[in-house]
Each structure stands twice: as structure tokens, then as C-alpha cells.
Amino acid sequence: MRFNSMNHKDTVNVLLQFKNSLQDPAGSLSSWSTSFSSSPCDWNGMLCDRHNDDDDVVVVGLNLSNMGLSTVEELPAAICGSKGLANLTHIDLSFNVMQGPFPYPFLQCTQLQYLNLSENFYVDSLPSQIHDLQALQVLDLSYNNFSGTIPEGFGELPQLRVLNLYANRLNSSLPAHLGRLQNLQYLRLAYNPFSQGPIPEELGNLTNLQFMWLSGCNLIGSIPASLGMLVKLENLDLSYNELTGSIPSDIFDLPNLYQLELYQNRLEGSIADNIGNLTAIVNLDLSENELSGVLPSTIANLHKLESLHLNRNKLSGSLPYGIALLPGLKDLSLFSNNFSGIIPPYLGHSSKFRVFDVASNHFTGPLPQYLCDGGELEVLVSMDNMFTGSIPESYGNCSKVQRMRMGSNMLNGHVPEAVWGLPAMYILELRDNHLEGTIAPSIGNAIHLSTLRLQNNFLSGALPPEIGKLLNLSVELSLSHNHFTGPLPKEIGNLEHLNTLSLAFNFFSDEIPQEIASCKQLVTLDLSHNYFTGTIPASLGSLPIITLIDLSFNSLTGRIPPSLLSMASKSSCSFNVSYNNLSGEVPSAFNATCFIGNVGICSDNLLGVRDCRKPSRLLEAMLAGMFAMAFTFLLLGLLILNKLHGPFIFKGFYKSQKRDSWNLISFQKVTFNEEDILDSLDEDNVIGSGSAGKVYRTVLKNGDIVAVKKLWNSNKQCAENEHGYGQGNHGINLLDHGFKAEIATLGKIRHKNIVKLLCYCTGKDTKLLVYEYMPNGSLGDLLHGRGQNCKPGFFLDWESRYKIAVGAAQGLTYLHHDCWPPIVHRDIKSNNILLDTDMNAHVADFSVARVMSLENSQNPTPINRQSSSMEEHQVMQNTSMATAENPNTVRCNIIEGTNQLSDDHHNTVIAKSLQVESSVLIQSSCIAGSYGYIAPAICDQ
């Protein structure tokens, strides 16, 4: 083959003009030079082929994907003219940083069959002249910033097989003229902020369609029955919309459908019996709707079914026994429904289960014993039901299980020894049952365990020293309200990362081990209502971030170590030693209820505590008279001064009183007081403001820097210019009802990827939240060039973006899966991911906006409420929650570097597409175990 010499010069000139219109920082087009080769077919990215039947070779394609190219000037107007690349059939510029409007010179390439401009930064409207490309078969404009309408010309492409417009900013209605694309096989329009409207009936005319993806398109109304005519359809995704009505039974008759996703809508009614006709279905997700009635027994006909998600509906009745016979079923999520009866006993016997989640239902009877037979189970969640009987011995074979949560049932008997030591487990939750027996020494094999919740059972015996092998136990060790006995093993000091140690209401005895002071991350220590003896270890005062120590109702003796007295507070019992046998004097500034019940303790001025000195009655009378006279003279003097010099004295006195009326409640060990904070609330220190309040950068007297959020009053309005610590778009009502309880819950959160709430200050009309300061600002600032470190040309490298994505995913996973009760963020976005000095991600502002807005309610529902609907799975309950909660929006920001979108709906709709297209960031969530955000099947891929 030879390159046609007559066209050689023209082709080279056009290609060099095209190169000059681009910026090529990686040098990917360096071979585009006649000094490299006289034939353009040897240049990087060129696709060449024979022309007609002769031996002449022509350029037929440009494959320039993922080269870091960007636009410097407009493309050459005659790129496909008679003296240009007239034979071009293939253009791929995907995964670059191309900017500006659609490249209109490409519309001259009338032979074009494949045009891929996805994953760029193109803006403005879609080209109305697209119908000039009559040979076009594949058009991919996804992941850009195109806006406006989908022009009529898009319905006039007779050869088009693939149309990808997802993840843009198209904001007109979904057009009916797309129903004219008779050869269309793939229609992907997901995650665009279309104006609210129905699914066009005309889409039922696309009889060759195999893939329809309309997720997050602001669709309303019912699902048209005409979609039941798409007999070649294999994948139908209408999730994240506002669709209502029942699911058309015709949908269940589609013979080739292998994936049906209708989750996060408002569909109602029952599931039709002909669902059993979906014989090709693999993934079926009808979750997050208002479906009711029973699950049809015909579900047992779906022999290829691997994943069934029906969670968060109103389904009732018992599960069909045939569901246990499905050979491929791996993922069963039924949580938050009204199912009852027993679980089919052979469930798991015929398949390799990976996820079994039936929390928050009314199931009774025994737990299914075959769930681990396949050896693949990772999630076993059955909490908040009425299961009875013992934990099956077979659960000891769940070698891959990561989360085993069976709390709040009526289970009894002993915990199988092998269950204690499951090697991959990071949460074991058996709270609120009737379990008995001891903790087996095999617990030392559960080396990944981060949370152990066994409270409210009848467990007994000594705490085995092997507990000290759980070096990853960082969130919680809760054994309260059991029958444990004996001394605490000194090995408990090995738990250096533990945040909460709760052993209250047991029968522990002997001395409190000094080694507890080695648990440097301890925030809460509750040893109350036991039989501990001896003195209080002075080393407890060295715990750097401890905020609560409760040693009440024991038999402790001796004096209170001075290092611990500094923890005592006048307003709360952050250090409680009441009802022991302690002695010595305590300062009068403390809360007396924290010390009562100790006959040896005295104080000069604490009610309920013995006076250290008891003066005589005569001395008492003399002192009282002297104080009365002094007060009288002082009052007369103030009145005279006020008469002579005006009310300035009382004004100063009032100002002092206002300062004295402030109260500081700390959640960490802090070295400052409220005056240090108040002195810094200067307008020069403001670093941002939002709808919830202003944020100040505060330098303390010791040189430390903190971030202080001053919350608005309920009638305060401000611009939505947030700086990482902002709350989101919620009205604020600063009523006291419920506020302290909510903030206290947030203050208990401890995770390396979550911003620490150090304390809060309250005054008469103002509330201040004090956070650790993040010197690199927010992810949003960094991506959009607003940060103080963003110099001209700054680019956040991909390794850092990946690190940030993983950190944010781990922080959210902790809130949803490792906190008890689970906590919902509700406003996850790039501005609420803050970065420390080492560019580690810290999630900020989870649930505070909701806390504030709830104070307007007559019956506020706190974030830590105990209702079953919130536990374990409080991720997305309605569209507004989905808008704030879906972290895939942040993944999109990290990948694209685009601004936070102004349209709330569009903030949500970008999200799901990253589950399919952004494998690296999805993998980060999979690593973090964030199944609340990503379908486990995608993590497998």
C-alpha cells in the first residue's frame, strides 16, 4: 500500500493545522512532523485504510483519546474539506480537556460513522445541524457541560445505533423525536437536569433498543406501557426519578431483560405475578419506593437471578420458599420493609451468598443456617427483627464475613466459639439479645475487628486477655449491661486506637488497670456500676482527648488525682465518681452530683457534699451581717455613681455579664476557653459564610489554629458562599430544643477522615461550633482554583485525587456502617471535604443542617434516634436526601474538576454514572466497603 502523493501535501497541512489548534503538554503529537515520517499513517493516533479498490492509502480516523489535549484556538474550518480529511469515518477525542463549544468543523465530515467527544469540558448547546452526519452510527458526547435542548436533528440520524448524552447539563424536556431513531440500540441520557416531565410514549417505537438509561432525568408520571414493546431490551434503568403509579406488568414480559433498575422513585402498588416471566433477569432492583403487598411466589422462576434489592418499601407477608432454591442468588437486600414469618430454612444451600441483609423487618423463627455454605458471605445483617433460637454453629465458617450485625432480636444460647474469631470481620454486633456464656479466647483471631457491641445480654465470665490482640479495635468496645466478672486484663492497654470503652453495669472487680492510660485515642470511658476497688489511676489524667470518664457506683478509695479534677465541669458530669468511698477536698466550682455519695469528700460550697470547714453559728451570723452591710454600701455607691455619671457603669456590668453567660462544652481535650474564642470573632478573620453562618479562622493564644462557625439566628439570611465548614441550603432555627443532644452525638464521632468537632459555645442568642482547622481548605476550592495554595497553573494530580476519594469514602463508610446508630451526611459535596497539610480528606458538616432545621419541629427526630428505619441503612429516603447524600457527585467533581453545580437536582444526577464509568473511584468505595452507595455487583466488576 502507498500513500496517495497527490493528496499527501493537503493532508499533512490540515493535520498540522489541527495540531497547532491544540495544546499538547504530554507531547503525544510530537510524531506529527514530516521530519519524523513523510507518511501521516506513521504518526501517533492515525488510522489509515485503502481507498476504494486501488492501493492508495488515506487517513480514515483520528484516535486521540486520553492524551491530555486541550483547545488553544478554533479547529481548522476545512478539516474535512476536499483538500483535507474527506474520508474521515472515525474521530475519538475522549478523555481530554477540550473546551469551548461543540467543534462545528466536524459537521463537514459527512462520511463520519463514529464521533466520541466524551469526558471533556465542552459547553453551550448541542449542534442543531447534527443531521448532516447521515452516516453516523455512534455519537458519544457524555461527561461534558452541554446545556439546553436536544435538537430535532438528533432524531434524523437513520444509521445511529448508540446515543450517549449522559452527565451533561441538558435542561429542556426529554424529547419525543428520539423515538424516530429506528436503528438505535443504546440510549443513555442519564444524569441531566431535564425539566420535569414524563417519559415520552414514543420511546416505545425503538424496537431495536437493547439499553435504556434514563436515571436521574427528573422524570415524573407513570412508566409508559409502550416500553413493554421493546422486546430486545436487555437493560432498563429508570432509577433516581420521581416516577409514580404502579410498575406496568408488560415490563415483566420482556424476554431478554437481564437488568431492571427502578429504585429511588415513588412507585406504588403491588408487584405483579408475571414478574416470574423475567427469565433472563440477573439484577433486579426495585428498592426505595412505596411498593406494598406480598412478594409473588413466581419469583422462584428467576433461575438466573443474582441480585434482588427490595429494601425500603412497604412489602409484607412471608418470603416464598422457592427463593431458597435460586441457584445464582448472591445478594438479597430486604431491609426496612414489613416482611414477617420465617426465613426459608434452606436459603443459601443452593447458592453462594455474598450479601444477606434483612434488617428492620418482623421476621421470626431461627436464623438460616446455610448462608455461609458457599464460603463467599461478606455481609450478614439481621438486626431489628424477632429472630429466636441460637446463632447457628455454621456461622463460624463465614471466613470472609466483614459485617455481622444481629443485634436487637431475641437470640439466646452461646455464641459459637468460631464466630468470635472470624478473621475478616470488622463489625460484630450482637447487642440487645438474650445471649449467654463467655467471650471465647478465639476472639484474638479477629484481627480486623474495629467495633464490638455486645451490650444488653447475659454474657458472663472474665474478659479474656486475648482482647488485647485486637489492635484495630478503634470505634467501640461495648460490654455494658451483662454479667461479666473478674478483673480487667492489663492487655486492654494494647487497644491504642480505641475511642469508646463501655463496661458499665457488670460485676468487674479488683483495681482499674493502669494500662488503660495507654489507650491514647480514648474519648469515652465508662466503668460505672461495677465492683472496682483501690485508687483511681492518676495516669488516666494523661489521656489526651478523653471527654468523659464515669467511675460512679464502684468501691474506689483514696483521693481523686489532681490531673483528673481538671476534667470536672460545673454544667455536666464529664468526670463522674459519685457513690464510691473517695476522700479529700474538691473545688466548689464543680457539679456536686458528680461527687455525691462519697462520705470522705468535702467541699466549701457544693450542695449535697460535706463542708470541709463547719463554722460556728455565731461566726455564721457575724459573717452574714458583714456581707449584708457591704452589699448595702456597694449598692448605694453604684446608685450614686449612676446618678452622677449616667448608666455607663451598668452598661459595662451588662457587657461583663454577657461574657460570663457563655458556656463551653468540649468533646476533646482543649487548652482554651470561651474567652479565647470570643476575642477572635473579628470580621478580618472570616474565611467563609453560608446559609447557616460565618466561619472564622481563629489563632489561639498558644499558637494553635481552629475554625469557628458562628451560627445565624433563624431570621438571618446570607449568600451561599461556603468554605468547607458550611451547612448546606437549610433554614436555621436556633431553638435549644434537641440542639445539645444532636451536637453531642456529632462530638462523639472519631475517625481519621472526619473533621473533629472540638467543642461548642452557647450564649444567650448565639451558638458557636469549634472545629479542627484544615489548612488546605476544601476539595472544591482546590479543584476550582479558589484555594490559597492554588497558584496559576496549579493542577491536582491524579494520585492525590485518588487518595482524597478513598479517604472521603472511608469517612462516609464509618458514618453509615460503623457508627451506632448510623449517621447520615445529607450534604456530601466537594466543599464539605476538607484537606489537611498532607492532603488527607476529612468529611465535614454531616447532619448539622438537618439538626438545626429540625428544631422548628414539634417532634424533632434526632440523628441518633433508635428507630429501626434509621439503623444501618439511613442513606437515601427521598429525593432531597438523595440529592445531598450521593457521594458519586463528589467523584464526578474529583474526576472532572468542574464547579459544584448550581442545580440541586443536577448535583444528584451526575452521581450514578460514575458507578459505570469511573472505575478507579468506584474501586475506592469498594475497598472502603461502601455498599450503601454502590451496587455490590459493580464492585465485583
Please choose, from the candidates 827, 842, 933, 815, the residue with its C-alpha nearest in 3D space to the C-alpha of residue 880.
Answer: 827
pLDDT score, position 418: 97
Bridge partners (DSSP) of residue 267 are none
Residue 769 pLDDT > 80: yes
Residue 190 pLDDT > 50: yes
Model confidence pLDDT, tens digit, residues 790-809: 554 455 677 788 888 888 88
Per-residue pLDDT, averaged over 440-451, amounts to: 97
Please state, in angstroms and rounded to a whole number, the distance separating the CA atoms of residues 231 and 514.
72
Least trusted range by pLDDT, from 226-240, 303-317, 411-425, 663-677: 663-677
Model confidence pLDDT, tens digit, residues 493-515: 999 999 999 999 999 999 999 99
For the ranges 20-24, 200-204, 748-752, the one whose mean pLDDT is highest: 200-204
pLDDT band at residue 168 under the 50/70/90 scheme:
very high
Could you list the active site residues? 827
Model confidence pLDDT, tens digit, residues 692-725: 778 888 888 878 889 998 887 644 433 333 344 4
Residue 98 pLDDT > 60: yes
Quick one: DSSP state of residue 254? -
- pLDDT, the chain, mean: 82
Per-residue pLDDT, averaged over 834-863, amounts to: 61
pLDDT score, position 666: 73
Per-residue pLDDT, averaged over 348-361, amounts to: 96
Please choose, from the candidates 383, 391, 386, 410, the residue with its C-alpha nearest in 3D space to the C-alpha of residue 872.
Answer: 383
Residue 734 pLDDT > 70: no
pLDDT score, position 396: 96
Please choose, from the candidates 204, 210, 95, 198, the residue with its C-alpha nearest in 3D space to the C-alpha of residue 163.
Answer: 210
Residue 928 pLDDT > 50: no
Residue 421 pLDDT > 50: yes
Please state, in angstroms and rounded to a whole number, the distance separating the CA atoms of residues 563 and 546.
12
Phi-psi region of 245 (alpha: psi -120 to 50; beta: other; left: phi over 0): left
Residue 640 pLDDT > 80: no
Listed in sequence order, the residues at least 6 apart from 764 whose beta carbon sits closer than 8 Å to its beta carbon are: 658, 661
Grid-cell match 463465614, residue found: 398
Classify residue 251 as exposed, middle or buried by CB count within 10 Å of its CB (0-12, 13-18, 19+): buried
pLDDT score, position 887: 53
Please state, in angstroms and rounded to a whole number, the distance separating the CA atoms of residues 174 and 815.
37
Model confidence pLDDT, tens digit, residues 32-89: 988 877 788 999 999 998 765 555 788 999 999 999 999 988 888 878 876 778 899 9
In angstroms, the Cα distances linking 6 to 83, 108, 110, 245 are 10, 21, 22, 65
pLDDT score, position 891: 56
pLDDT score, position 247: 98
Residue 436 pLDDT > 70: yes
The CATH number of 244-417 is: 3.80.10.10
The CATH number of 667-940 is: 1.10.510.10
Per-residue pLDDT, averaged over 227-237, amounts to: 98
pLDDT score, position 685: 84
Please state, in angstroms and rounded to a whole number, the distance separating the CA atoms of residues 917 and 641.
77
Cβ-contact 376, 354 below 8 angstroms: yes
Residue 927 pLDDT > 50: no
Residue 536 pLDDT > 60: yes
Q: Which residue has the higher pLDDT, 176 or 864?
A: 176
- Of all residues in the chain, what percent carry a pLDDT higher than 70? 76
